[in-house]
Amino acid sequence: YYSRAKNLKKSAEICVKEHNSQLPNDYQSLLKLPGIGAYTANAILCFGFREKSACVDANIKRVLLRLFGLDPNIQAKDLQIKANDFLNPNESFNHNQALIDLGALICSPKPKCAICPLNPYCLGKNHIERHTLKKKQEIIQEERYLGVVIQNNQIALEKIEQKLYLGMHHFPNLKENLECKLPFLGAIKHSHTKFKLHLNLYSAAIKDLKNPVRFYSLKDLETLPISSMTLKILHFLKQKNLFGG
C-alpha cells in the first residue's frame, strides 16, 4: 500500500511532463505509468474515457471463469481475450460495472446461483469449485524483538532500505539474544499481507541495536514516513506514558 502513494506521485509528474498535465487515453501510454497494470489501464479507459475496453478484476475474473466453464489457471492474456470477446461495445461502461457488481454481490466466493441473472447461460454452475480460483496463501508467523531507545524526548528509528517498506521508518531490531537481558515493555500483534507479527518491545540503548538509527522528536514524526506498524507501537508507548504523552 505504501508504494501506491509513491507511484501516484511519479505518475502525476510524468503526466505533467510528457502528457500536458493530462492522463493519457491510450492503453500503451497508461501501462508506462508507475503502478498501472492491465486492469487499471482498461478501467481508466472504460470508466474515465468511456472507451470500448474490457476490465478484468478479481470479481469479473470469477464471473468469467464460471460463466464460460474455464480453467482457473488460465493465462491472464487469454482471459483478457475472452473478456474482450464478451464485451458489449455499445455499453462498455454498464457492462463492466454490471460484472463487477455481479461478482461482488452474487457470483461471490460463495455464489447465490439461484438468483443469478446469468444462471441459464452459466457453464460452470454445476461445478463451481472446479471453475473457481483457489487462494493458497501461507500465513507466516514471526516473532520480532525491537528496541525502544528514548533520549532527550526523542525516539530512535531505523530507515528501511529493503523493497518492502522502502523509505519507511521502523523501530530497530535488537542484536541477537539480548531480549532476556533488557527490560520488557510489552508486546503487540500486527498483521500485513501474509505475515502475522508478534512484536516484543524492550527498553534498550544504542549499543543493543542491530542497525544504525536516528533520533526523532514528536514534531519530526508528524512528517516522517512511518508505517502503520510503527504508528501502532508509538500509540502503545503513549498509552504507557513512555513517549509522547
49 closest CA partner among 31, 30, 36, 64? 30
Amino acid making up residue 95: H
Q: What is the mean pLDDT of residues 141-152?
A: 94
Where does the chain hold its CATH 3.90.79.10 domain(s)? 140-239
Q: What pLDDT does 24 receive? A: 96
Helix H or strand E segment including 237: helix 228-239
Distance from C-alpha of 26 to C-alpha of 133, rounded to nearest angstrom:
30
C-alpha cell at 51: 472507451
- For the stretch 113-131, pLDDT in tens is 999 999 999 999 999 999 9
Is the pTM value of this prediction over 0.95?
no
Q: What pLDDT does 91 receive? A: 96
What's the mean pLDDT when you consider all of the chain? 93
Given a cut of 60, whether residue 1 has pLDDT beyond it is no
Where does the chain hold its CATH 1.10.1670.10 domain(s)? 37-131
Yes or no: say if 236 and 184 are a contact pair by the CB < 8 Å rule: no
Q: What is the mean pLDDT of residues 58-70?
A: 97
- For the stretch 202-233, pLDDT in tens is 999 999 999 999 999 999 999 999 989 999 99
Q: What pLDDT does 132 receive? A: 92
Distance from C-alpha of 2 to C-alpha of 165, rounded to nearest angstrom:
7
Q: What is the mean pLDDT of residues 229-241?
A: 94
Looking at domain 37-131, its CATH architecture is Orthogonal Bundle (1.10)
Three-state secondary-structure class, residue 16: helix
For every residue of 143-194, DSSP letters joined together read EEEEEE-EETTEEEEEE--SSTTTT-EEPPBBPTT-GGGS-EEEEEEEEETT
- For the stretch 175-199, pLDDT in tens is 988 777 899 999 999 998 788 999 9
Top-confidence residue, 10 or 3: 10
Given a cut of 90, whether residue 138 has pLDDT beyond it is no
Q: What pLDDT does 152 receive? A: 92
Place of cell 506514558: 241
CATH of domain 140-239: 3.90.79.10
Q: What pLDDT does 134 receive? A: 81
Q: What pLDDT does 2 receive? A: 65
- For the stretch 9-38, pLDDT in tens is 999 999 999 999 999 999 999 999 999 999
Amino acid making up residue 120: P
How many of the other CB atoms lie within 10 Å of CB of 217?
Answer: 13
Q: What pLDDT does 206 receive? A: 94
Share of the chain above pLDDT 70, in %: 98
